[in-house]
Amino acid sequence: MFINQNKKKPHSYFMQLALGQAKKNLGNTRENPSVGCVVTKNNSVISIGCTSINGRPHAEQKALNLSKSKLKSSELYVTLEPCSHYGKTPPCTKLIIKKGVKKVFFSVNDPDKRSFNKSIYLLKKNKILVNKGNSENKLKYFYRSYIKYKTTPFPFVTCKIAVSNDFFTVNKKKEWITNSYSRSRVHLMRSYHDCIITSSQTIIKDNSKLNCRINGLRQRSPVKIILDNNLKIPINANVLNKKNKNRTIIFYNNFNKLKIKRLKNLGVKIYKVSLDSDKNLDLKEILTKLRKLGFQRVFVESGIKLTTNFLYNNLVDDFKLFISNKNLGKNGMYNIKKSLNKFLKNKKTIFDKVNLFGDKLITYKIK
């Protein structure tokens, strides 16, 4: 049963419902966009759908899974222009026509060249009214990662770092810097990114699992990407545990035949990449490879060195800064206030601020 719509602005309301559906599987649809779809008749919702985990079936296919008699003369609200090309599934545009939908509302054109603007022509040709809605800016922000994935050689990159109130990144006492609400938010972020990048140094230091440990979202843990130039990662590291169903990928440069064999026996995918001018693994080459592997949304969760490397190579789209309400003083290590201010001075656009019961989360829109 659905909540009664806003009768004064029904189109806006239905598109908001569709956006809510699209958000459900963000970061879990592989190379496909996460789309939401709402079907209405006589101004009442009769069906909804979202893109499934791993990208198929599409949102429209799920929402239109009713008899033609029930869908005849209905109106369809979808967050992204319906696909019009044949891939692993038939085009959604063809299904919309077949099911007797009379009007289609969407907000953002599909940047995929196989579909861009083509569905509009096909729908109108079959006497279906098409309306590009007024929620374009909001939906374009939601589809930033997919648009970048389709129009550039790189995936969308979000970097996260946590600091004390006096901007230290490490507590000498080996205690958490941020509170439990901030840490839960990080796990939520992991769930809507399809891969997470860290360094072998971070794995050696923390033996992180890099999974999502929120009940109900554990199966949405991202693929783990480890940057390990000399293949120093311990074979017994948590991220290499065979019980962990989410696979691990390692990028390296210095060849180690025995270690590579042992890692492959654990099911790890391994790729050799070049070094940049500073003798670090080439991040652009790594991101290009990840995009080719079908990763849209990359979450960087590592130490200050790798995070800084991403920032200063201008590879970050969104930057998430968690600030604790605690000062570490003499117990703090690696103060980044000056370097962070220097970087963000000319590039920062504060998009969002969230109060996390004492801690703060600031989102900077870098690109």
Hey, what are 125's tokens?
């040709």
Listed residue (91, 88, 40, 87) closest to 66, CA to CA = 40
Print burial letters for 155-181: b (CB count within 10 Å at least 16), e (below 16): bbbbbbbbbbbebbbbbeeeeebbbee
Alpha-carbon distance 271 to 253, whole Å?
A: 8
Residues 6+ apart with CB under 8 A from 86: none
Listed residue (236, 206, 237, 215) closest to 301, CA to CA = 206
Of 31, 60, 75, 301, the catalytic one is: 60
What letter does residue 178 receive in the DSSP assignment? S
> Is 81 noted as a catalytic residue in this protein?
no
Alpha-carbon distance 74 to 9, whole Å?
A: 18
Do the bridges between strand 195-199 and strand 297-301 make them parallel or antiparallel, or are there none, so unpaired?
parallel
CB 238 within 8 A of CB 214: no
CB 28 within 8 A of CB 53: yes
Alpha-carbon distance 158 to 298, whole Å?
A: 6
Name residue 5's beta-bridge partners: none
- Catalytic positions are 60
